[in-house]
Amino acid sequence: MKTMEDILQIYERLQSRITLDEFKKMVQEKIDLMGGLCDEKTASKLVAHDLGILDMMKIGEISLDQKDVSFMGKVTQVEAPHEFSRDDGSIGRVANTIVSDETGSIRVVLWDELADLVKVNELSAGKILNISGYVKDGYAGIEVNVGRNGSMEFIETDVDVKIKTHKISDIASGMSGINILGKVLNIGEIRRFSRKDGTEGFVSNITLGDETGRIRVVLWNDRTKEKLAPEDVIEITNGYSRENYGRTEIHLDRHGKIEKSSREVSYCEHMTKIADISINESYNVMGTVTEVVEKREFTKGDGSVGKVANIRISDDTDGIQVALWGENADLVDQINIGTQIKIMDGYAKAGWSDSIELNVDWRSEISTKDL
Residues that bind DNA (CB under 7 A): 139, 191, 193, 195, 201, 203, 218, 220-221, 244-246, 251, 253-254, 296, 298, 300-301, 304, 306, 308, 310, 321, 323, 325-326, 347, 351-352, 357, 359, 361-363
Return the DSSP state at 247: E
Identity of the residue, 145 or 221, whose beta carbon is nearer to DNA in the bound complex: 221
Rg of the chain over Cα atoms, rounded to whole angstroms, equals: 27
- Distance between CA atoms of residues 199 and 184, nearest Å: 30
User: In the Cβ-directed half-sphere of 216, how many Cα atoms lie within 13 Å?
Assistant: 22
Identity of the residue, 69 or 308, whose beta carbon is nearer to DNA in the bound complex: 308
- Distance between CA atoms of residues 118 and 96, nearest Å: 9
Q: At its nearest, how many Å lie between DNA and the CB of residue 94?
A: 15
**Sign (positive or negative) of CA dihedral 325, 326, 332, 338:** negative
Q: Cβ atoms within 10 A of the Cβ of 240, count?
A: 24
Q: At its nearest, how many Å lie between DNA and the CB of residue 291?
A: 11
Identity of the residue, 260 or 312, whose beta carbon is nearer to DNA in the bound complex: 312
- Nearest to 184, CA basis, from 259, 255, 251: 259
Q: At its nearest, how many Å lie between DNA and the CB of residue 219?
A: 9
Q: At its nearest, how many Å lie between DNA and the CB of residue 140?
A: 8
Identity of the residue, 140 or 168, whose beta carbon is nearer to DNA in the bound complex: 140
Q: At its nearest, how many Å lie between DNA and the CB of residue 90?
A: 25
What's the angle, vertex CA 133, arms to CA 129 and CA 136, rounded to 5? Answer: 125
CA 70 to chain centre: 23
Identity of the residue, 114 or 343, whose beta carbon is nearer to DNA in the bound complex: 343
- Distance between CA atoms of residues 185 and 179, nearest Å: 17
Identity of the residue, 266 or 353, whose beta carbon is nearer to DNA in the bound complex: 353
Identity of the residue, 232 or 345, whose beta carbon is nearer to DNA in the bound complex: 345
Q: At its nearest, how many Å lie between DNA and the CB of residue 363?
A: 7
User: In the Cβ-directed half-sphere of 286, how many Cα atoms lie within 13 Å?
Assistant: 6
282 within 8 A of 320, measured Cβ to Cβ: no
Identity of the residue, 273 or 349, whose beta carbon is nearer to DNA in the bound complex: 349
Write a three-state SS string for 301-350: CCCCEEEEEEEEEECCCCEEEEEEEHHHHHHHHHCCCCCEEEEEEEEEEE
Q: At its nearest, how many Å lie between DNA and the CB of residue 203?
A: 4
132 within 8 A of 114, measured Cβ to Cβ: no
Q: At its nearest, how many Å lie between DNA and the CB of residue 153?
A: 31
Identity of the residue, 174 or 246, whose beta carbon is nearer to DNA in the bound complex: 246
- Distance between CA atoms of residues 56 and 45, nearest Å: 10
Strand locations in 188-280 (E)? 191-194, 200-210, 213-220, 233-244, 247-252, 257-260
Q: At its nearest, how many Å lie between DNA and the CB of residue 224?
A: 10
Q: At its nearest, how many Å lie between DNA and the CB of residue 114?
A: 23
Identity of the residue, 151 or 186, whose beta carbon is nearer to DNA in the bound complex: 186
3-state secondary structure of 170: helix
